[in-house]
Amino acid sequence: MSQYDAIAHVYDRLNAELDYGAWADFVEANFARHLPARPSLVLDLACGTGSMTHELAARGYDMIGVDRSPEMLSEAYARAGETMPLFLCQDMRSFELYGTVGAVVCCLDSINYLTADGDLERCFSTVHNYLDPDGLFLFDVNTPYKFAHTYGDNAYILEDELDGRSIFCGWQNAFDPSSGLCDFYLTLFEEDDDGRFIRAEETQHERCYTHDALLAALEKTGFAHLDTYADYQFGAPTDTTERWYIAARAIKH
């Protein structure tokens, strides 16, 4: 199965500890800090099940969500509330929009899913193409520290419940420091109506990027790096930071 096919319907349950309200507060604080005015149209790139897309839509932004997984997007559609973002099934390296947007956000290490040489530049260049002049690009990545120390070759089990039925998700990581590639082998056991557990498997791949590589790709594709933060309070990164939040401005002459 391709990435996210098997776990799309339990994805939000497995990530229930994430606070998208606080994250959206941070996104809006970045808009206030780095843009001259509140953007009206915002793209959520690799939006997945639309947690950030819906959170920002509820705050009055016109939202577009792009993701390449139909399964994740169908979860995003299913939770549509009073506002319905425009969801597009496209690749983040080559997507097409109807026009430019004021800001692009890309959350929860989706950038790390760009694993092939040149993917980062292809994605950043497409983002640049669809940003207004001086538009803001805000994304986060897992840091090299997290790949080496938290993921490594570790294994763990996530256990939860969905609609009264148990879910167990086994994760086995395999990180290769020489290539920077990290494979995640997921095995999902989901309780059925009759108490049996249905097994599904999928493999995901992330690539570890150094801060220098990210900044070089931004510069090459027409961005000015604004800042890198360690948390939602604009904290400065340290050697043990697990996630960098990077803000960049699209320069267009």
Ligand X SMILES: C[S@@+](CC[C@H](N)C(=O)[O-])C[C@H]1O[C@@H](n2cnc3c(N)ncnc32)[C@H](O)[C@@H]1O
Positions that interact with ligand X (CB under 6 A): 4, 46-48, 51-52, 67-69, 72, 91-93, 107-110, 113
Q: Name the residue type at position 149.
A: H
Shortest gap between Cβ of 23 and ligand X (angstroms)?
8
Q: How many helices (H) and strands (E) does the chain have?
A: 7, 11
**Comparison of 1 and 236: residue with beta carbon closer to ligand X:** 1
> How many CA atoms does the CB half-sphere of 127 hold within 13 Å?
36
Shortest gap between Cβ of 54 and ligand X (angstroms)?
11
**Comparison of 55 and 190: residue with beta carbon closer to ligand X:** 55
**Comparison of 86 and 251: residue with beta carbon closer to ligand X:** 86
**Comparison of 92 and 246: residue with beta carbon closer to ligand X:** 92
**Comparison of 20 and 223: residue with beta carbon closer to ligand X:** 20
Q: Which residues of 70-101 are buried (b: 16+ CB within 10 A; e: fewer)?
A: ebbbebbeeeeeeeebebbebebbebebeebb
Shortest gap between Cβ of 210 and ligand X (angstroms)?
20
Angle between helices 211-220 and 119-129 (to 10 degrees): 50
**Does residue 9 contact residue 167 with C-beta atoms inside 8 Å?**
no
Task: For 70-88, give the DSSP string.
Answer: HHHHHHHHHT--SS--EEE
Shortest gap between Cβ of 192 and ligand X (angstroms)?
25
Q: How far apart are CA 97 and CA 148, in angstroms?
A: 37
Shortest gap between Cβ of 89 and ligand X (angstroms)?
9
Tokens of 25: 């507060």
Shortest gap between Cβ of 6 and ligand X (angstroms)?
12
Using CA atoms, how far residue 3 sits from 48, 88, 230, 251, in Å, is: 11, 17, 27, 33
**Comparison of 18 and 215: residue with beta carbon closer to ligand X:** 18
Q: How far apart are CA 195 and CA 193, in angstroms?
A: 6
**Comparison of 81 and 164: residue with beta carbon closer to ligand X:** 81
**Does residue 223 contact residue 137 with C-beta atoms inside 8 Å?**
yes
Shortest gap between Cβ of 223 and ligand X (angstroms)?
19
